[in-house]
Structure formats: C-alpha cells, structure tokens
Amino acid sequence: MQGCTKTFYIFFTQELPLSSIIATYIPTMTVQDVLPTGTYTIRNASTNEYIAVQGPVKVATLVGSRDGSAENTAWVLERVSGHRDKYNIRSFAQNSCVTINSTQKTNGTLAFGREACPWSIRATGYGTHVISPHSDASLYWSLIKNAGNSQTLLTDDRTSAVHWYLHRMSA
C-alpha cells in the first residue's frame, strides 16, 4: 500500500529487566504531500472521470472524460520552487495553464491562459488529493454533472466529489 510505513515502537518499563524489551508493530500512515514535476492524469474519485480540456485555447473548458488515454487528459504539474504544495497546472495538449480570476468564488468555472496560476495540491491520506486555488484554500476543484456533461468547477462543499487520483505518466 502506497504511503504505508512499518514503524516499531520499543517500550521500556521500570519493572522489566533490559533483556525483556517489548517491540510492538504499529502501522502508521505517512502522507506523501510532495508530487514531483511531471505529466499526470487527474481522475475524480467519485465519478472515475478524467479531467480533459475541451475547445480552443481562448474558450477552453475543463470537462469530465471516460477516456484517460487521450492527449487532452494529460496535465503537466510543475512544483513552484520553495513551496511544498504549490503547483502550476498546464494542459499537455494545449500548453496553456489552468487559471481563475481573482474574483472567482463558489461554482466558478476554471479557465485557461498563458500566465501560470498557482494551485495547492494536498494529499488527503486516502490515496487522493484535493486541488485548491493557492489564494483560497476553502475552494476545491469539483466535477459537477450539467445536462449530461461533467464540468470542473470550484466549490466550497468538501465532499468526496473534490477528491482526485493523480497518476504520473512521465517525468
């Protein structure tokens, strides 16, 4: 299991001689919160849909897709130097960055631009991650069904719909 480490704790008591030390195995979970820069697919934990870019660069949107092998589902995550959880997210297919405007709030759609916008990507401890604007950790990427299509929006509702599997494709 990824993220699982074996830790042995040794307990000493005053009553026992040193030769009767008790070693106890207690499984612990470590959260791997630093993702290496590379190309990833981003899949929603609730719907199993991949995030895909749809449309030309200036009007592109992020939508759900069942096909995780398509070029438009590949995302380059670039860790911002000096930060543990701060990343720029760029479409591999269009070479444009996922952005928001400074006034964007709940249910705002994500946009694309040439200028990088930092995102916080944090591990949940369950093999998934949450993605938030670095400027507002109370908002999360979420995949919302809309008239038969799925669209990626920002939400403040921290349900399982905001959990994402990140699969590294290459460095």
Domains of the chain, residue spans: 38-170
C-alpha dihedral (98, 150, 130, 75), degrees to nearest 10? -40
User: In whole angstroms, what is the distance from residue 170 CA to residue 148 CA?
Assistant: 32
Q: What are phi and psi of 125, to 5 degrees?
A: 95, 0
Cα 133–chain centre separation:
12
Higher pLDDT among residues 157 and 26, named by residue: 157
Which pLDDT belongs to residue 135?
Answer: 85
For residue 105, the SS3 value is: coil
Please determine, looking at this structure, whether the domain spanning 38-170 carries the CATH number 2.80.10.50.
yes
What are the pLDDT digits (tens) for 59-78?
888 899 999 888 899 999 99
Contact present, 47 and 141 (Cβ < 8 Å): no
Ramachandran sector of residue 84 (left: φ over 0; alpha: ψ -120 to 50; beta: rest) = alpha
What are the pLDDT digits (tens) for 83-130?
888 999 999 999 999 988 666 677 788 888 888 889 999 999 889 999
Q: Name the nearest CA neighbour of 168 among 111, 129, 132, 114.
A: 129
Which pLDDT belongs to residue 57?
Answer: 75
